[in-house]
Amino acid sequence: MSHTHPDADTLRSALQLAVRAPSVHNTQPWQWRVGEQTVHLYADPARRLPHTDPDGRDLLISCGAALHHLCAGVRAFGWTTRVHRLPNPAEPDHLAAVEFRPEPPTPEAIRLAQAIERRRSDRRRYTSWEVTGSHIAELVEVGQSHGVLVRNVGGDYERARLLRAFERAAQDHARDFEYGAELHQWSGRHAAAQGVPAHSAVISTDPTVRRFADPGLPQAVLCDIDGEDSMLLLSTPGDERISQLRAGEATSAIMLTATVMGLASCPLTEPLEITATRAAVRSEVLHDSGFPQMIIRLGWAAQSADPLPATPRRPMDQVIRPL
């Protein structure tokens, strides 16, 4: 092993963890270029979803999540990272250059990296067991350490406004033929190395659940459905691309930490993909204090709920290139 740079096998293992990151419709819109001393993350604009994600925000959040997964993965192998975000203004798809420095892993770092393989977007109902204030406080702090504001949407008024935004977005999307065609192209029985497979999607009348094609995942059976899931709303002071990248890093950090805690989670962005409902979330839930980027639903999975199979990923040789 070199003292200044992880060897090729270590980097490949870390990149295998990086591509386990969540991404909108499992599009995996990233490319990695591996140099002698650095790893570079590029957005793959051909994988943007024009009718779901017209602004490319979900794409950047997905890439940010993969960037954090890389850093969390390599950290467990004994390396810390220095990340240069958007290093070249002339090349906007070049999202990050990552440098490495040796540092022995801590037990927390190892637990976080181990959570990568276990994490799933779980769209089933969660139990009414409370996600305690100390869990929430820790997750809020994790998000804030990535420069992102995290609000636990708990108050009745704000909660109702957020749910209303989900309902309106689902109604708008149901009338949008091109959105529907795109959703069917990226989900259901035909999902292969990409997209949301039928076995990951549930039938649900809950407005927070996106209407993926051919939902084939049985809903969790619960004795008590009175409880409320926790909803974390991630926002940033500005709405530039770097804020969206950071929001993706925070999403990854929160979801992996939640997985370590034993919590189930699911990222949700449908109301943030439509200008009017995003504006409503900004004014009615955030009271104009930031730009909403991501919503994470959290809770305890039912004990009867089967473990979720992993969603597929593209072959590594399609996403890694030498520099």
Ligand X SMILES: Cc1cc2nc3c(=O)[nH]c(=O)nc-3n(C[C@H](O)[C@H](O)[C@H](O)COP(=O)(O)O)c2cc1C
Query: Which residues make up the interface to ligand X (CB under 6 A)?
Result: 22-26, 58, 61-62, 65, 120-121, 123, 196, 210, 266-270, 311
CB of 152 to ligand X, least distance (A): 19
Phi-psi region of 108 (alpha: psi -120 to 50; beta: other; left: phi over 0): alpha
Nearest to 310 by CA among 189, 196, 188: 196
Q: Which is nearer to ligand X, 71 or 268 (CB)?
A: 268
Q: Which is nearer to ligand X, 99 or 260 (CB)?
A: 260
Q: Which residue is nearest to ligand X (CB)?
A: 22
Compute the half-sphere exposure of residue 195: CA atoms within 13 Å on the CB side of its CA: 19
CB of 53 to ligand X, least distance (A): 8
Crossing angle of helices 177-185/156-174, nearest 10°? Answer: 90
Strand 38-43 to 30-34 pairing:
antiparallel
Identity of the amino acid at 181: A
> Which residues have a Cβ under 8 Å from the Cβ of 58 and sit 6 or more positions away?
24, 49, 52, 269, 273
Q: Is 198 exposed, middle or buried (0-12, 13-18, 19+ CB in 10 A)?
A: middle
Q: Which is nearer to ligand X, 5 or 68 (CB)?
A: 68
Q: Which is nearer to ligand X, 102 or 312 (CB)?
A: 312
Identity of the amino acid at 224: D
Residue with tokens 């070049």: 94
CB of 263 to ligand X, least distance (A): 14
CB of 25 to ligand X, least distance (A): 6
Q: Which is nearer to ligand X, 5 or 232 (CB)?
A: 232
Q: Which is nearer to ligand X, 58 or 229 (CB)?
A: 58
Q: Which is nearer to ligand X, 5 or 67 (CB)?
A: 67
CB of 120 to ligand X, least distance (A): 4
> Which residues have a Cβ under 8 Å from the Cβ of 205 and sit 6 or more positions away?
none
CB of 123 to ligand X, least distance (A): 5
**What are the C-alpha distances in Å from 82 to residues 4, 176, 236, 239, 259?**
13, 42, 22, 23, 25
Which residues partner with 32 through β-bridges? 41, 320
CB of 217 to ligand X, least distance (A): 11
